[in-house]
Amino acid sequence: MKILQVIQFFSPKHGGSATVAYELTKQLAKNGHEVTVLTTDFELDSCFIDPLNGVEVIPFHCDLNIGGLLISFSMNKYLKENISKFDIIHMHNFRTYQNIIVSIYAKKYKIPYLLQAHGTMLRIINKKGFKYLFDFVFGYPVLKNVSKVIAVSNEEINQYLGIGVPKEKIVVIPNGIDIDSFYRLPEKGSFRDKMGISDKYIVLYLGRLHERKGISFLIEAYSELLKQKEDVALVLAGPDDGYQDKAELLIHKFDLKNKVKFTGYIDTFDKLAAYVDCDVLIYPSILEIFGLVPFEAIMCGNPVIVTDDCGCGEFIKKANCGCLVKYGDVVDLKNKMKLILENPDVGNKLVENGQKYIVNNLTWPLICKNIEILYESCISKV
């Protein structure tokens, strides 16, 4: 198949959707398909795209950035001249300029397209007015003509239904895990040395510092844990996404200044090193559709605690490979952290369960096969 992947940014700095698009593209190319990635040069990382052998990555210049809407006027000419050569189009994220333009040309040339929103359907938290306006003017036409949408969990099914996507258009395919990247891990102790933490347990949060990531919930539970167990450090690893100042205010409020460490953005090596050295990973997000981080931590031998209403919680529960807590239940999170830190055998058993589940259900070759079947189904109905 000739496949067009569409995403407004193509850099690991932007987290989940870019990583998923990258890994899917890599696997599709490995399976013999002709894959083109249409993106922008916004914070483009050449080191990210160089290993994609046999894939054409086309980064159009970002002429305007209007509140995160990355506009590339030169993309129109390319689509007009080339879109007819593709068999299927896979669009990532929902409210993007790229999706507007690509969907118009796809409709004109009768090329089927599907959408994978990566949790971007919600209108809560930020820019609510903009999101309603975008949906009314541009979003609903994109959804009207979409062949299928991909949900990664039951949580995301509800998000699609909530914006009016018919149930028959929703297909559930979870994100994949690149298990090959966990066969050779950094030496134990390297992250501890870098952070200056030698003789304490490490509780790790890894992800963007954003309001809906549950960081305030974690900080409060950590402050309660220290009242019973003093030899614990908290590391908040990841780039600021508008919440670090508020997190620092909470740290000051609970008198945790010398106990909590920020790393800022960390690359792949340091991320793996953090997983290897921490004692438990906390994923306290609310309304998260999936989340790769807990599964990456498990592949590095790390026990995890996740909120029960995020998408990955469905899989953690199914595989019995981690502890679940209700978002906002500070006492329960404190108790679960204490349980894992004081009972390594419990954590080891959960990790063992998780690694078996990931290898048997969530590898990219398995996930990609399901997406290929979906592509073929969409093409056959044109």
Stretches where the chain sits below pLDDT 50 are none
- How many domains does the chain contain in total? 2
Identify the pLDDT of residue 154: 87
If asked whether residues 116 and 26 sit together in one domain, one would say yes
Identify the pLDDT of residue 269: 92
If asked whether residues 128 and 270 sit together in one domain, one would say no
If asked whether residues 161 and 185 sit together in one domain, one would say no
If asked whether residues 208 and 352 sit together in one domain, one would say yes
If asked whether residues 50 and 70 sit together in one domain, one would say yes
| CA–CA distance, 304 with 238 (Å, rounded to integer) | 17
If asked whether residues 79 and 198 sit together in one domain, one would say no
If asked whether residues 240 and 264 sit together in one domain, one would say yes
| CA–CA distance, 198 with 142 (Å, rounded to integer) | 52
If asked whether residues 221 and 160 sit together in one domain, one would say no
* Domain encompassing residue 117: 2-176+363-380
CATH number at residue 299: 3.40.50.2000
Identify the pLDDT of residue 176: 95
If asked whether residues 38 and 157 sit together in one domain, one would say yes
Q: Which helix (H) or strand (E) holds 125?
A: none
Taking only the tens place, the pLDDT of each residue in 319-352 is 999 999 999 999 999 999 999 999 999 999 999 9
Identify the pLDDT of residue 245: 95
Cβ–Cβ contacts within 10 Å for residue 24, how many? 22
Helices (H) and strands (E) in the chain, counts: 16, 15
